[in-house]
Amino acid sequence: METVPVVEYTPMIRDLPVDLRPRERMVYAGSGALSTAELLAIILRMGGRGENVLRMAERLLSQFGGLPGLAQASHDELCLVHGIGEAKATQIKAALELGRRLLATSPHERPQVRSPADVANLLMLEMSLLEQEHLRAVLLDTKNVVIRVVNVYAGNLNTAVVRVGEVFREAIRANCASIIVVHNHPSGDPTPSPEDVRVTEQLVEAGRLLDIDVLDHLVIGRNRYVSLKERGLGFR
């Protein structure tokens, strides 16, 4: 049975100012300036009753936990979402498959991390919409190029439940040089908690033993983030 959420009325895209419409923004600003939701909105093309296509895209990303969850969802699971029929589900899966094939054939196109902002730009839109805390590890090669992003854990982040081995398992398999840990605060406030600092200290120490550098730990809130490395928290 299709899940029907309570959707507040949002203005249609055609009623928004031109500089806020995703397609027009892509033309004059380029695809790199668009958020993940805006890009997804272009793929979806149209929203539904009382909900514009941008809000629909944001809802989809929130419901599936961002692009990784959307990529893992089956065609049938997408079709069960309110407003997403066969056509939209097929468009989404086709676009994600193109992206997967591009990464598989063109590893030199993967992003390079030069600052905490690069990681935040990569993950913030998706993770800021999550209703639970998620912990992800960004795996990097020796030139700080992203190998892949691994979803490690979902739930409340604390030292009692976060197992260091789980954070580094995929990093060891990928033979990566370093990782950046990222988690979100569903409250929207990215201020690191004492528990965040303790988790960071454990991960940094484990990384030294495994010869995998933990370069940073980012906490993502609503359109904001904090780098624990920049604040000197958990890193010695």
| Each residue's pLDDT tens digit, 161-218 | 577 888 899 899 899 999 999 999 988 899 999 999 999 999 999 999 999 999 999 9
In this prediction, residue 160 has a pLDDT band, given cuts at 50, 70 and 90, of very low
> In which band, very low, low, confident or very high, does the pLDDT at 42 lie, cut at 50, 70 and 90?
confident
Q: Look at residue 2 in the predicted model and tell me its pLDDT.
A: 53
Cα-based angle 134, 147, 185 (whole degrees, multiple of 5):
15
Q: Where are the domains of the chain?
A: 13-107, 110-231
C-alpha span between 119 and 226 (Å, rounded): 11
Q: What is the pLDDT of the chain when averaged over all its residues?
A: 83
Distance from C-alpha of 224 to C-alpha of 177, rounded to nearest angstrom: 27
pLDDT of residue 79: 92
Homologous superfamily of 13-107: 5' to 3' exonuclease, C-terminal subdomain (1.10.150.20)
Asked if the model's pLDDT at residue 158 lies above 70, the reply is no
pLDDT at 144 over 90: yes
pLDDT band at 219; cut points 50, 70, 90: very high
pTM over 0.75: no
d(CA 31, CA 77): 28
pLDDT band at 90 (very low <50, low <70, confident <90, very high): very high
CA distance 190 to 124: 11
Task: Provide the percentage of residues in the chain whose pLDDT is more than 70.
Answer: 84
Instruction: Among 11-15, 52-56, 70-74, 106-110, name the one with the lowest average pLDDT.
Output: 11-15
Identity of residue 77:
E
Place domain 110-231 in its CATH homologous superfamily. Answer: Cytidine Deaminase, domain 2 (3.40.140.10)
